[in-house]
Amino acid sequence: MGRDNNFKLKMTDPYTPYIIGVNADANTSLILSNTSKGTSLYGITDASGQALFDLANLSSGYDDGDTIEVNQAYGYKLNNGEILTSSSIFLNQVTVSKAKINLTGDYADASIELSADGGSNWESVTNNVENQFTTTGQDLRFRITSSGTVVLTDVKVNYN
């Protein structure tokens, strides 16, 4: 299965809890979407290549006739305690005074930090909320620390 070769399921019994299992390569990022409702779940296969999706976790749930679609996605997985640190994402002899980060994926257990001075000072931020830097600088970076399982498929950072 690839990004262009997904599979779709037509749900017929909205009252039965569904667990969907997917076999793929190990550490493959997956997106399960209820395309009828526009909601998604994110997952990643384990070392044996298996991933489970509990449709009860879909915020929209699903109704009779909804289409469930699973796609492979590029992504980054963090287990409990693991860290994703970026290198310089903006470095141009221009002082960064504010920035806003927007994560896509399953990031409920993610602690998000931004640094405007190359990682010397990190400031905790909230996803999709603009942060006015206490310590400004000219080297913008982000850091994600996981307290559970985090799967990121996209990160967008907008700055001044």
Half-sphere exposure of 16 (CA within 13 A, CB side): 7
Query: What φ, ψ does residue 158 adopt, rounded to 5°?
Result: -110, 135
Token output for 116: 């405007």
114 touches other proteins by CB under 8 A: no
Work out which of 31, 58, 77, 133 binds other proteins, going by CB under 8 A. Answer: 77
Work out which of 35, 60, 85, 132 binds other proteins, going by CB under 8 A. Answer: 85
- Which CB, 52 or 59, lies closer to other proteins? 52
Work out the burial of residue 59: count CB atoms within 10 Å of its CB; fewer than 13 is exposed, 13-18 middle, 19 or more buried.
Answer: exposed
By CB under 8 A, the residues from 35 to 54 that bind other proteins are: 44, 50, 52
- Binding segment for other proteins (CB under 8 A), chosen from 34-42, 65-73, 124-132, is 65-73
Which residues are paired to 3 by β-bridges? none
Write the DSSP symbol of residue 153: E
- Which CB, 20 or 37, lies closer to other proteins? 20
20 touches other proteins by CB under 8 A: yes
Token output for 78: 């963090």
- Binding segment for other proteins (CB under 8 A), chosen from 2-10, 34-42, 121-129, is 2-10
CA distances 75 to 7, 15, 42, 105, 130, Å, are 19, 32, 10, 9, 24
Work out which of 35, 57, 59, 88 binds other proteins, going by CB under 8 A. Answer: 88
Residues that bind other proteins (CB under 8 A): 1-5, 7-13, 16, 18-25, 27-29, 44, 50, 52, 70, 72-79, 81-93, 140-141, 146, 150, 152-160
